[in-house]
Amino acid sequence: MSHDALSEDVRALREIAHAFARDVLRPAGLQADRSGRTPWDAVRTAGDLGLVAANVPEEYGGPGVGMQALAAVMEELGWGNFGLAAKIGAAALVAQAILEHGSAEQKRRYLGRLCSTDRPWVGALALTEPESGSELEIDLGGPPQHLQTRAERQGDGYRITGQKRFITNGGEADLTLLLARVGDGGPQEGWTLFLVERGAGGFTAGRQIPTLGLRGSYTGEIHLDGCKVPETARLGGQGEGLAIVLRVLEVARTMIASAAVGLARGACEAATAYARERRQFGVPLLEHQLVAGRLAGMRLRIDAARALVHRAALDLAAGRSAALSAAEAKLFASEMAVHVTQDALHVHGGYGYTQDLPLEMWVRDAVVSRIFFGTSEMQALEIAHHLAAGA
């Protein structure tokens, strides 16, 4: 689906997101990449504009946009800065889980805070552990997944013990959606989700993990040492965690794919503008057939990735399973972003390799899109699983 096929309301929100990305995220993201510090003013401004957890319905104080609008916003945020897009977008994932599976009290307590125009709560999705990564994020009916974080019943609540690693906003988040295992049943039995607020006893932030890219975001560890949470902190029923996680990951993969489209679009725009201005052998680079062909291929891949993203968004909006369409969008868009950003750097030549331009940052940021919410290999396995099932 092209931008022109979007509704008037979605286009208007996209323009707000684009202006924010241009005026705030781009300069803040570049500065954060150099300093390694989160630009909190940019996050608060996103909240002011209704761009944080924009999927929260109006009755809870949010814009209440659908999945197509959420994808459009994420593309613009990714165009501004991929790391900050991931940081801001995490709140929408937590909000979506609460919208679909939360109690009335959980919706009342959290949704308005996640989308607040004053100081929106930062969200985190804590699945990955030191010994388990992508295998926790895909269900192929194969060998058991090794979820080590345990939640034990105690009185009218639970005590959670374990460790989470490589968590976006991990340790910084105001509200963490955390996966733990209750009981000693078979593989995936007892997997349960909990909403854990910052400051909960036994919940502490570990180290910030130094990363190749995403330096405007925060990748951290979470330590749970008998973390006490009430039963009201459980999201959904005990043992329903896997089903909820798989649905949330459909949204997550669609959003990250859309942000990757935005990242690649920005790189393509920069390369095209440079090729118009830079002259070689007496003519602009754009008039050289090899360069023109490279730019054309970049644009083609970006438009194809966006079409896959919108198909996944349509599945989500219609309440259909997006397991296949989101995996296809995420796989294609992330691989595309890596190739397009590298091609854009190549068009710029030696200038692209310097820190005078953001090209080298975009290349570093694009690499992690292959890993977020299940690696490219895991997405390929997901697609093959659906093929084997007759999809």
pLDDT digits (tens, 9 = 90+) for 221-278: 999 999 999 999 999 999 999 999 999 999 999 999 999 999 999 999 999 999 999 9
More confident residue, 146 or 289: 289
Give me the chain's average pLDDT, please.
93
DSSP annotation of 23 reads I
Start-end of CATH 2.40.110.10 domains in the chain: 125-239
Per-residue model confidence (pLDDT) at position 6 = 74
pLDDT tier, 132 (very low <50, low <70, confident <90, very high otherwise): confident
Start-end of CATH 1.10.540.10 domains in the chain: 3-121
Average pLDDT for residues 1-13, to the nearest whole number? 73
Q: Is the pTM of this model over 0.85?
A: yes
**CA-wise closest residue to 362 among 382, 327, 381, 336:** 336
- How far apart CA 179 and CA 129 sit, in angstroms, is 10
Task: Say yes or no to pLDDT of 148 above 80.
Answer: yes
Residues linked to residue 132 through DSSP beta bridges, in sequence order: 129
pLDDT tier, 142 (very low <50, low <70, confident <90, very high otherwise): low
Ranking 99-103, 150-154, 280-284 by mean pLDDT, the lowest is 280-284
CATH code for the domain defined by 242-388? 1.20.140.10
Residues linked to residue 280 through DSSP beta bridges, in sequence order: 283
Start-end of CATH 1.20.140.10 domains in the chain: 242-388
Average pLDDT for residues 200-219, to the nearest whole number? 92
The sign of the torsion formed by the CA atoms of 167, 22, 79, 306 equals positive
Considering the four listed CATH numbers 2.40.10.220, 3.30.390.30, 1.10.540.10, 3.20.20.150, the one that applies to the domain covering 3-121 is 1.10.540.10
For the chain, percent of residues with pLDDT exceeding 90: 84
DSSP annotation of 22 reads I
Residues 16-32: tens digit of each pLDDT: 999 999 999 999 999 99
Average pLDDT for residues 30-38, to the nearest whole number? 91
Per-residue model confidence (pLDDT) at position 1 = 43
CATH 2.30.29.30 fits 125-239, yes or no: no
